[in-house]
């Protein structure tokens, strides 16, 4: 395990290079260029703002809905990009997998890094939105690295597992599309999941809800505390990452034949 980690670390430059290749190719042809990374969550935020502040009311606990939705959408977007691009990373690069040797983790990891790039661009706008709504930043910002680390653990675990599964079984990507959509609506992305009542269990079985809630309480609320559910989600994500990576290592020998 340690030797494996060392090998992956030796290839960190390749991870960065491939991630930058992804980013370059993605923005080279987009009309908006880098703006695309913002346009995506921004437009979704506007749609959901129109729906939930005019048509149906949701209780955001006093937070301006636009800000509530934007923070949720940006971090969900990060998660979705990691999972979706990560799942495709091996099959899209089958010409590399069948032709050159390097630790196969490099490809899903590069997908994680390139998703982080979009996330960083989109996150910049959060500051502007907070200033617009006169929400002052608080000490909670110190928790950002912790929350991000937990979310990345979860996302990377899924990216590793799904990239291999997607190579083994071609119908995984269709199942994934549906699952990701359902997952988004089962998480507190654009509306809060109530902490009590019939649906309270959703926050405990779905690690994304405590993660999304943690983002909001830290960034918008400025609170320097994390919920017990977030603790559970952290432990789960770390364990999942280790299990997923070990499994990836076990099956990667066959990738050269499958891709």
In the complex, which residues of this chain contact another protein (CB under 8 A)? 13-14, 17-18, 21, 24-25, 28-29, 93, 95-102, 169-172, 175, 253-254, 256-258
**CA–centroid distance for 22 within its chain:** 16
Q: In whole angstroms, how close is the CB of 104 to another protein at the nearest point?
A: 10
Q: In whole angstroms, how close is the CB of 128 to another protein at the nearest point?
A: 32
Pairwise CA distance, residues 215 & 143, whole Å: 9
- Evaluate whether 147 touches 211 at the Cβ level (below 8 Å): yes
Q: In whole angstroms, how close is the CB of 236 to another protein at the nearest point?
A: 24
Instruction: Output the six-digit token pair for 139.
Output: 């000490």
- Kindly give the residue spans of alpha helices, DSSP state H, lying in the chain: 2-10, 12-28, 35-50, 65-92, 94-97, 106-132, 144-168, 172-185, 201-205, 208-219, 228-251, 255-258
Q: In whole angstroms, how close is the CB of 256 to another protein at the nearest point?
A: 4
Q: In whole angstroms, how close is the CB of 167 to another protein at the nearest point?
A: 10
Q: Which is nearer to another protein, 31 or 55 (CB)?
A: 31
Query: Phi/psi at 171 (nearest 5 deg)?
Result: -90, 0
Q: Which is nearer to another protein, 73 or 97 (CB)?
A: 97
Q: Which is nearer to another protein, 228 or 253 (CB)?
A: 253
Q: Which is nearer to another protein, 180 or 238 (CB)?
A: 180
Q: Which is nearer to another protein, 15 or 123 (CB)?
A: 15
Pairwise CA distance, residues 137 & 117, whole Å: 22
Neighbours of 148 (CB within 10 A): 17
Pairwise CA distance, residues 71 & 82, whole Å: 17
DSSP letter for each residue of 201-247: HHHHH-THHHHHHHHHHHHTS------HHHHHHHHHHHHHHHHHHHH
Q: In whole angstroms, how close is the CB of 13 to another protein at the nearest point?
A: 6
Q: Which is nearer to another protein, 11 or 183 (CB)?
A: 11
């Amino acid at each position: 395990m340690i030797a494996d980690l060392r090998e992956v670390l030796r290839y960190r430059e390749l991870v960065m290079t491939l991630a930058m290749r992804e980013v370059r190719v993605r923005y080279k042809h987009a009309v908006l260029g880098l703006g695309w990374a913002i346009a995506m969550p921004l437009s979704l935020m506007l749609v959901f703002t129109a729906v939930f502040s005019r048509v149906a009311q949701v209780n955001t606990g006093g937070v301006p809905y636009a800000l509530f939705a934007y923070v949720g959408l940006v971090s969900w977007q990060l998660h979705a990009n990691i999972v979706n691009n990560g799942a495709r990373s091996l099959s899209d690069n089958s010409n590399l997998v069948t032709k050159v040797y390097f630790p196969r983790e490099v490809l899903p990891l590069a997908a994680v890094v390139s998703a982080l790039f979009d996330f960083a661009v989109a996150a910049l706008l959060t500051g502007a939105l907070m200033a617009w709504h006169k929400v002052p930043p608080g000490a909670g910002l110190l928790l950002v690295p912790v929350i991000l680390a937990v979310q990345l653990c979860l996302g990377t675990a899924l990216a590793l597992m799904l990239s291999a599964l997607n190579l083994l079984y071609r119908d995984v990507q269709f199942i994934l599309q549906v699952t990701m959509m359902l997952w988004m609506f089962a998480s507190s992305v654009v509306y809060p999941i109530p902490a009590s009542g019939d649906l309270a269990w959703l926050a405990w079985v779905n690690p994304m809800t405590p993660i999304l809630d943690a983002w909001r309480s830290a960034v918008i609320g400025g609170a320097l505390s994390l919920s017990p559910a977030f603790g559970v989600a952290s432990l789960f994500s770390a364990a999942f990452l280790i299990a997923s990576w070990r499994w990836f290592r076990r099956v990667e020998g066959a990738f050269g034949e499958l891709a």
